Amino acid sequence: MTAVTGTATERRLRSAMVLVAAVAIAAAALGIGVRTGFGHHVSSDEPQYLLTALSLFEDRDLDVSDEIAERRWAVFGGTYLPRQTAVLADGRELSPHDPLLAVVLAPAMGLFGWVGAKATLSLLAGALAALVLWVAVRRFAISLPLATAGVLVAFPSAPFAVYGQLVFPELPAALAVTGAVAVLTGDRPRPLALGALITALPWLSVKYLLPAAILAALALMRWPNRKPFAAWLAVMGALYLLIHRLVWGGWTVYASGVHFQNDNGEMGVMIGRGFKIVARLLRLVGLFADEGYGIATWQPAWLLLIPALVAVLLLRPPNWEVLAAPLAGGWLVAAFVASTMHGFWWPGRQLVVVLPLALLIVLWWLDRATPGLRTAAAVAGASGVVAYGWLLADGYARQIAWASEFTATTYPVYRLIEPLLLPDYRSGFTGSPLPLLGWLAVFGLLAWYGYRSAREPANPPPSRK
């Protein structure tokens, strides 16, 4: 009877994984028809990744000088390509972006063009949704119905659905981080798998170095035979620096970017000009509730992370640090290291890499919550799904584009709350302090609720049968 029950449970989990993957793929793929910018299908850094992918497929190298000269970008980039590459001494032009995303997209880009490249990212969104569900159920004992419902809300809404087709490394990086969590929380060490996933992160972008280092540190603290793993990481790190020095001429890919050199050199592009601690501290509010670039602006359910994280830190369930520590690292990069939280991209770009961990924390908390709280969470999450659907409709009507023009949406809830409740942090905080103070009060109340929930007996979770 136990074996039959176990088989039935596995069958239900596999079916749920297929379901959430299909929904995530569909939601992301629908976004391909919405332009990233008015007049062009891709914008910002996206053409750089696509040109590199095309060069890898056709020429087997990273030199995009011939693709730029032949205007290969015109089919997807419109009439103007923002200059990012510097002409090196030997005449080559290398995109100032780490190449792993281009490697992943190269076959689809070469065979099917930019649509194929975006469709590949949509498939990865499906894989990420299925993996998050599996980790939730198998590693953190979250009930299958709740975990399925949570993933079905998170992935057909922003930012997962949007970055499931925008040509940025965010979603593949989130897949690598979630895979690393799955390995770290397993029954036995798997240094080769974890090493590959951690190594992939900086090759997707150097900005993922801190979450990667935290994941590596967790493994070194948890695994008894740590010397081979440490040696491999050291070799991979040395190779990363050596290859970048030989190929790009610096310690990072930013060394080959004329655009980035204007930001105080290859390291300056990360932090930006005029670092001001107060402005960076304000991002801790803005990352949630900026008028355009806050993730809760478009999916209110992300606010549940605040009480859920407080409860996790107080109760410290098994493997809590594997979620909380990388999440903190990614959030710190978004708040204090990244040169800006906004730009020619969709909101939450700097957070996507660790948002699956945030989702797992929220699901764990909801699994022990009261039915009333779960209902409120479902309503908040559903509103985010509706918001994404409205954005799709506006996008197909050419009312909005994914990069920076999305605040022109006709979504009535956004139009109502934006002037009243959502501060604008893009030009520095110069308006009334009331919205900021209001959000600080909201965050405080949410944190207090998380504290209170941690001190109360857990609500029995739904049946797992």
Give the pair of three-digit tokens for residue 295. 């993730």
Structure confidence by residue, pLDDT tens digits, 278-297? 888 889 999 999 999 999 99
330: confidence class by pLDDT, cuts 50, 70, 90: very high
Model's pTM, two decimal places? 0.94
CA 54, 57, 58, 59 dihedral sign is positive
Determine the residue type at 247.
Answer: V
Comparing CA positions, the residue from 300, 311, 289, 295 lying closest to residue 448 is 311
Give the pair of three-digit tokens for residue 388. 């994404």
DSSP SS3 for 93: strand
Which helix (H) or strand (E) is 404 found in, with range? none
Whether 75 and 31 have beta carbons less than 8 Å apart is answered as: no
Task: Please state, for a pLDDT cut of 70, what percent of the chain lies above it.
Answer: 92
pLDDT at 3 over 70: no
Structure confidence by residue, pLDDT tens digits, 227-246? 889 999 999 999 999 999 99
- Cα(131)–Cα(21) distance, rounded to whole angstroms? 9
- Residue 305: per-residue pLDDT: 98
Determine the residue type at 28.
Answer: A
Structure confidence by residue, pLDDT tens digits, 451-465? 999 988 766 555 444
Give the pair of three-digit tokens for residue 124. 């990865």
- Residue 277: per-residue pLDDT: 82
Give the pair of three-digit tokens for residue 390. 């409205």
255: confidence class by pLDDT, cuts 50, 70, 90: confident
Instruction: Note the residue count of the chain.
Output: 465
Structure confidence by residue, pLDDT tens digits, 131-163? 999 999 999 999 999 999 999 999 999 999 999
CA–CA distances in Å: residue 453 to residues 310, 312, 373, 404, 449: 9, 10, 11, 38, 6
- Cα(276)–Cα(335) distance, rounded to whole angstroms? 11
CA 445, 364, 376, 371 dihedral sign is negative
- Cα(14)–Cα(17) distance, rounded to whole angstroms? 5
- Residue 272: per-residue pLDDT: 62
Structure confidence by residue, pLDDT tens digits, 197-227? 999 999 999 999 999 999 999 999 998 888 8
User: DSSP letters of 155-218?
Assistant: TTSTTHHHHTTSSSSHHHHHHHHHHHHHHHTSSS--HHHHHHHHHHHHHH-GGGHHHHHHHHHH
- Residue 460: per-residue pLDDT: 56
Least confidently predicted of 54-58, 80-84, 412-416, 443-447:
80-84
> Is the pLDDT higher at 276 or at 396?
396
CA–CA distances in Å: residue 442 to residues 228, 288, 377, 420: 47, 11, 16, 15
pLDDT at 271 over 70: no
- Residue 421: per-residue pLDDT: 87
CA–CA distances in Å: residue 461 to residues 306, 310, 465: 21, 19, 11
- Cα(266)–Cα(256) distance, rounded to whole angstroms? 8
Average pLDDT over residues 307-324: 97
- Residue 458: per-residue pLDDT: 64
Average pLDDT over residues 256-269: 62
- Residue 2: per-residue pLDDT: 43
Structure confidence by residue, pLDDT tens digits, 63-75? 999 999 999 988 9
